[in-house]
Amino acid sequence: MAPQDLLCQLLESDGKYADNIYLLKKIILTAYLGRLRINSLSPDRKYTLANYLLDDENIIFDFTRLSEEKKEKFLQWLLKSHEEEKETVFLNRYAVNEYRGYSAEVSLNWWGKFKSWLFNKRFDHWTLADISLSLHYQLTGLNVCYGKKGLLIGLNQFLSPPMKGKYSDPEKNEQDSNGNAKRVYITDKLVDRLLSSNIGDFDFNNICKKPHPHSLTIDKEQYQSRYEQMHAYRTAEKFHALKPWYIRLFGWVASWFKFGSSKKEAPSKTKRFEKLLKEEQISISRNKETNEILVLEKRPDSEIMVFCGGGPKIFAHVGVYKAFCDAGLRPKKYAGSSAGAIMSVLCYLGCTPEEIFEFFKSIRPENLIYYEKLNVNGISNTNGLKAALDYMINKKILEVLKKHHDKPEDHYPKGKITFGVLEHFRKQYPDCGFGEELTVTATRKLAGETTYFSFKHSPDEEVSKAVTASACLPIVFQPVKINDEEFNDGGIKSNFPTEIYKDDYSSLLESEHGNNLKLVGIQFNNGTERHTLDRIKDKVYRENFLLNWIYRLLTGVNDPASGWEQDRIKLRQHALQTIVLDIGKDVNISSIYLSEESKIKLLETGLKGGKEYIDLRYRKTSSGKYKNQELMYSTFANLFDLLVYCCYRENLDWFERVYQLILQSKSADRSELIEHADQLRKLYFPTEFENKSKHPSFYNHPYKRPSKEEVFKKAEVFVLVYPVFKDLSQDWLMDKTDKFIFEKSRFSLSLNSPFECLEHLEKIKGKVHIIFHALHQLIKEIKIEASEENLQLLKDIHDLIKSGSLSMDDFFFEDNWNLSRRQCRHLVDLFKNNQMQELQCACEYFKEGCEPMKVFRESELYMVKGQNSRFLKDQYFEKAEMDEEVYYESFSP
């Protein structure tokens, strides 16, 4: 019995292995509806689908075009119901590796099999039929080997059919079994189609005995070109498996005795193309001699920006962002890890490059790192980092609310500022300047896996906390707890998170690796990145076992080197979409203090890299706008091959347009092509099929409108208090213990508890600067009443601190200051007006617990000491008679 007949008979059987045969049907259906590629080319129509399935070559289900959500659904649909029937097997001949950026098959020798067994690498086996004592073809089972980005599926067969000429040139010295020859690309839409399909509705007898829907008719004279393309693909991907050395040696010696058989290559002919379709964004041309189709399409504009981690190198990120903003190319979606997460949230909030640069410049190490006691998890908690992020987030929210409402306190969100809240603001205030999407990564410490925080994945998570977790550098910061789970720096497992944005199918052509063509990434050259791009044929660098072990100890995450290896693979896959910045060795991730010169140099490096990227891809028009000029191209064997590609992209509009080109063609097989095209339309574009999957909505997560003004005032106070504490230094205190308490108060400052710092400030007993004391007293007043007058006084104190003109003379330090709010106001005015004589006089009185008297005489103000004056609490005379002296003396309670 022929193999394909036996397969059809097996699929119709209903014996003891019926459940396993049902799994085989799922595999066949996936291969039938998916995009089957034979060494990167379309299948040959002279082979049926069964012919391709029933040979010694394994087939790979490729997940590189699949989102994680759909991948889980597909695996559950395919394998979940068959868990009980599977058998676990070791010592297989094959395995998968991921170092190319996708799951690839690799054959194992005895040492590889031993390592596979040692590291518990298994594959699952399902029995399809019992082995019989027969010398005829038998199909007894199927195996599944699991990869991160695909499945390797093989069939256990006895006397499988020969493969000569199917996957390679039979005259070449290659082994018959090549590996990686058959690959089926799985897409999100295909998964939706499979989940909504009833397998009983498909005629598997017809499916197996006919060619794959994507098959092409290959003329005899085209086979040599087809073999050459297959060979070039396998050479580029390093898939070649050569015959044993003695056979190759014999062939080489035998070639010496072949005389006069060498063929001279015919001179290459100039390819002449005729335009079939031309539009502003795309053009389709056909070679008149070979019918080859050339498609040229403009690459979509850069709308997505992905920032890598890099600590203090973040200033270079600002430079790249500035280059894009200056060119009028501000992106809409942002993602980042570690320091890149901080940059991405600020860009998402609509901050200008100048605002971001000034904010980063104002942040000092002591604003972020606080050392209290020895902790094996890290030197400092993350309160300072979170407070800095809360400050910028709330500052932008307050700006939006004050712009649109007379009473912004009625619209300020009650509770945490989550990803859902920001999405709500973006939709409610379209002109707020927010981006369309924000995603940051963090590493689950125990699981060693990357978690993505965004509106889609975690709408109820606080934004500042997620970004803090992403930037939680090991050793320096202690892990951040989210939902009772510890998170570390997102850069440990995904420092260049381009995987967040998959192909969005907005263009007809796709990237070789399924990239989102709207994405531009920013990556620093840390020593291996440039080598990764310059030597694309080399395997990407991976840290050795010893380094991996050391980094594991430092980060607390298992196998961090695997994440960095994947980052280099992603960089290679996005080589034409990435700005690689050479920062130099002067600045590294552990650099805490950067000079002003270094910060500006980093900014200029990023600015230069961004401009070079834009100038290569965009053209500046006469109106000053930048217009995209970058072209993509792809070739197809003929119009039907392009039509099949449109089915894979599930683009009905382009399917119909290419179909019209086939109708207009004068090809000899035009009628046959039209018939195949009609079959493709029925198969891939059925009118009743609908994608039932729904995108998560913000409104599935209740958003509570605030009802109290206190919530708004708390945010407003935090936005004012945080920059004051940020600019304060320990120089405002004399006692060493007090300085430690001050640092503790600084790191206790948070959006939800802006007055928690008072608990620590009350413990300061030594000498402090009088302005520091005034600030302390004012914050206590604001806690009781956040009046406009008090908030304005706080702004004035901050302006004095920022000016740097305040005298730090010992005269202004005392341990028994006790000023009222009115006295603080009077003191600040004297400092602002630089009235040093009056200021010293006032301080002398304040030290004694009294206040200098004001004498109003002929509009002149004098300072005198009152005697026997009665106490007037919180009252003073606004004016007096011109010819009368009025004395008063006020003591603080």
Planar angle of CA 228, 232, 234, nearest 5 degrees: 115
Cα distance between residue 28 and residue 207, in whole Å: 9
Please report which confidence band the pLDDT of residue 868 belongs to, taking 50, 70 and 90 as the band edges. very low
Does residue 807 have an active-site annotation? Answer: no
Please report which confidence band the pLDDT of residue 689 belongs to, taking 50, 70 and 90 as the band edges. very low
Assess whether pLDDT exceeds 90 at residue 492: yes
Q: What is the pLDDT of residue 243?
A: 65
Q: What are 232-246's pLDDT values in tens digits?
A: 998 888 887 666 777
Cα distance between residue 838 and residue 591, in whole Å: 45
Q: What are 422-442's pLDDT values in tens digits?
A: 999 999 999 999 999 999 999
Assess whether pLDDT exceeds 60 at residue 860: no
Assess whether pLDDT exceeds 90 at residue 481: yes
Q: What is the mean pLDDT of residues 564-570?
A: 94
The most distant pair of C-alpha atoms in the chain lies apart, rounded to whole Å, by 130
Q: What is the pLDDT of residue 635?
A: 95
pLDDT-above-90 percentage for the chain: 51
Please report which confidence band the pLDDT of residue 707 belongs to, taking 50, 70 and 90 as the band edges. very low
Report the DSSP pairing between strands 94-97 and 273-278: unpaired
Q: What is the mean pLDDT of residues 871-889?
A: 37
Question: How far does the chain reach from its first CA to its final CA, in angstroms?
Answer: 107
Please report which confidence band the pLDDT of residue 35 belongs to, taking 50, 70 and 90 as the band edges. very high
DSSP code per residue over 211-262: --TT-B---GGGHHHHHHHHHHHHHHTT---BPPHHHHHHHHHHGGG--S--
Q: Which is more confident, 799 or 890?
A: 799
User: How large is the angle between the packed helices 3-12 and 18-33, nearest 10 degrees?
Assistant: 120
Choose the weakest-confidence range: 142-146, 356-360, 437-441, 751-755.
751-755
Cα distance between residue 120 and residue 72, in whole Å: 23
Query: What residues have CB less than 8 Å from 544, skipping those under 6 apart?
Result: none
pLDDT-above-70 percentage for the chain: 89
Q: What is the pLDDT of residue 267?
A: 53
Cα distance between residue 442 and residue 451, in whole Å: 5
Q: What is the mean pLDDT of residues 661-673?
A: 88
Q: What are 799-827's pLDDT values in tens digits?
A: 888 888 788 888 888 888 888 888 888 88
DSSP state of 41: B
Q: Which of 44, 188, 192, 489 is catalytic?
A: 489
Cα distance between residue 170 and residue 175, in whole Å: 9
Q: What is the pLDDT of residue 869?
A: 36
Q: Look-up: residue for tokens 């391709």?
A: 52
Q: What is the mean pLDDT of residues 50-69?
A: 93
Please report which confidence band the pLDDT of residue 269 belongs to, taking 50, 70 and 90 as the band edges. low
Say what the pTM is. Answer: 0.84
Residue 4 tokens read as 């394909």
Q: What is the mean pLDDT of residues 649-672?
A: 90
Domain ranges, ordered by start, for the chain: 3-245, 274-298+638-684, 304-626, 709-849, 853-893
Mean residue pLDDT of the chain comes to 85
Does residue 160 have an active-site annotation? Answer: no
127, 131, 135, 138 alpha-carbon torsion, rounded to 10°:
-20
Q: What is the pLDDT of residue 694?
A: 39
Q: What is the mean pLDDT of residues 631-654?
A: 94
Assess whether pLDDT exceeds 50 at residue 884: no
Q: What is the mean pLDDT of residues 160-168?
A: 84
Please report which confidence band the pLDDT of residue 259 belongs to, taking 50, 70 and 90 as the band edges. low
Q: What is the mean pLDDT of residues 414-419?
A: 89
Q: What is the pLDDT of residue 859?
A: 39
Q: What is the pLDDT of residue 706?
A: 40
Query: What residues have CB less than 8 Å from 615, skipping those under 6 apart?
Result: none
Q: Is 221 exposed, middle or buried (0-12, 13-18, 19+ CB in 10 A)?
A: exposed
Q: Which is more confident, 83 or 867?
A: 83
Q: What is the pLDDT of residue 256?
A: 79
Q: Look-up: residue for tokens 């939709």?
A: 427
Please report which confidence band the pLDDT of residue 271 belongs to, taking 50, 70 and 90 as the band edges. low
Please report which confidence band the pLDDT of residue 876 belongs to, taking 50, 70 and 90 as the band edges. very low
Residue 701 tokens read as 């997560």
Residue 892 tokens read as 């603080």
Q: What is the pLDDT of residue 412?
A: 87
Q: Which of 42, 215, 338, 745 is catalytic?
A: 338
Please report which confidence band the pLDDT of residue 877 belongs to, taking 50, 70 and 90 as the band edges. very low
Q: What is the mean pLDDT of residues 528-539?
A: 87
Q: Does domain 304-626 have CATH number 3.40.1090.10?
A: yes
Q: What is the mean pLDDT of residues 410-427?
A: 90
Q: Give CA separation, 827 vs 95, 546, 780, 793, 801, in Å.
A: 77, 62, 17, 11, 14
